Structure formats: structure tokens, C-alpha cells
Structure 1
Amino acid sequence: MSAPTVARWAAPTAETLTALLDAVREWTPFDGGQVLDDLAVVLDDGQPPRDDMGALAGRLRGHLVRLVRIAEANEAEDDPEACRLLRQARALHAEALPGDERRAVGHLRQLAWSVNELLERLGALGCLRRYA
């Protein structure tokens, strides 16, 4: 029986290390509490504050990006329901916040429902240990 061969280790390039360092600097831990707080603001009975709509849309889009990345890392796309929710999330993420206040509220609520459904599905699939 021959000894297994091991590939020689090659030092990473400066570009690889720079990209890795940039990714680490940009990384923030998943904050399920913040996600749920944003969902509550948008999905409560009242209307989200007009002055906060742009910031809320940005945070909800950020939550969608984070959840999509979590889904991809956990290969959740193999699940038909998760796959549907991921397509929906990507489509909503690409849409701009409408200028009309009534339409903007509707768009925020669509974003929030998409975040909520994806959060619940990823939790059910075991992709998230705990989010609240």
C-alpha cells in the first residue's frame, strides 16, 4: 500500500489575502433580533414612518442578501420552497423603492414578507440555529 500523496501548500497571493481581509472587515454577524424588529416596524398595523422608508428598505434588502447567502452556503436551493423564496427575494431586491408613498409602503411590506418567509423556511431547514 502506498502512502497518500498530499498537495504542496502554496502561499496565498497578496490579492487573495487582500480580498479575504476585505471580506472579514465587511462581515457582520447575523442579528435575528434586528431582522424581527424591522419586520415589526413594517408589518405592524400602522404605517412605517415616512422618513424611515428609505432606511427600512435598505435594511430589508440587506436582510434578504444575508439570508440568500446563508441559503446558498447551506445548499437550501435544493428545497423547492426555498428555491421559490430565493427567486422572489432576488427579484424584490432588484426593485427600487417607489416614490409614491402608498406604493412605497406596499413595496416595503413585500420586502418584509419575503424576509419573513425566507427566515422561517431557512429556520425549518436547519440553516439557522436560532434567530430570535
Structure 2
Amino acid sequence: MTGPARPVRRWGPPLSGTELVTVLDRLRSWGPFDGRALLDDVAAALDDVPPSERDAAQLAERLRGLLARLVTISVASEAEQDPTAAQLVLRARTLHADPLPCGRQEAIAHLRRLGWTANELHDRLAAIRCLKEAA
């Protein structure tokens, strides 16, 4: 026995053409998280011999990008439910927004804070199984 016929809405795509192009561009530019690159940059930031000014600026940009990826991984895996991870995510967001200071000593100190935070957040995400450890 069948009931009265109900009207069916016509299907429409969930995204417009420009939105689909944006999604496609993001997929094409995506790359897997590189834990070894993170460890290399952390080591360079925390080394006893600080990088030159030019290298420090480039290193700071790479560390900011790595922090942004770690924060994205944290949010996607709901790692912020862990209090330690949540605190590290907050610190990462704050450091990501801070520009590299002008003075040499201040810039090196900021670079080291970026490195420590990236390393600690990476280690915490590995400890709570949101990320594989880097070799």
C-alpha cells in the first residue's frame, strides 16, 4: 500500500563552480605533513649557533607554517580536548600571529619560542595518537 506522492526537490550541486575551483586548487596544493622537515627546522631554531638574519626570517616563516598545520591537525582530530594540547594550540596561535621582532636577540628568542612550541605540540599530538612520530 502506498501513500500519497510527495514532491521531491530537484537535486542541485552543493557548491558553486567558483567554490569547486577553490576546493580543487587547495587539493592540488596540498602536501602531506612532513615530520622530518619539522624536526630539521626545530633543530635549526634551537641550535647553539643562531641562523643569519635572512635565514632566521625564512626559518620563522617555515615554523609559522608548520605551527599552522599542527593547529589544523589538532582541531581536525579534536586534540584540544586534551588540556596540554589545548594550551599548546593556544600558544601556537599566539606565536603564529606575532611578527618576527626587529632586534637580533629578540628575533632569535622568538625563533626559539616558535621551535619549542612546534616541537612540544608535535610531541603531544604523537603522544595522544593524533599524529605519527617523525623518525
By the TM > 0.5 criterion, same fold?
yes
- 1:3 corresponds to: none
Q: Aligned partners of 2:113, 2:82: CA distance in 1, in Å?
A: 22
Map residues 52-131 of structure 1 onto 2, 5 A cutoff: 52-131=55-134
Map residues 32-47 of structure 1 onto 2, 5 A cutoff: 32-47=35-50
The residue matched to 1:90 in structure 2 has which SS? Answer: helix
Tell me by how many angstroms 1:8 deviates.
Answer: 8.2
Give unpaired runs (5+ residues) of structure 1: 1-6
- 1:4 corresponds to: none
TM-score under structure 1 length normalisation: 0.88
1:77-117 alpha-carbon deviations (Å, 9 max, x no partner): 11100000000000011111011111100000000000000
The residue matched to 1:126 in structure 2 has which SS? Answer: coil
Over the matched positions of the two proteins, sequence identity in percent amounts to 49
Q: Aligned partners of 1:17, 1:92: CA distance in 2, in Å?
A: 32
1:53 and 1:9, CA in 2 relative to 1: closer, same or farther beyond 3 A? same
Q: Aligned partners of 1:10, 1:128: CA distance in 2, in Å?
A: 37
Give unpaired runs (5+ residues) of structure 2: 1-8
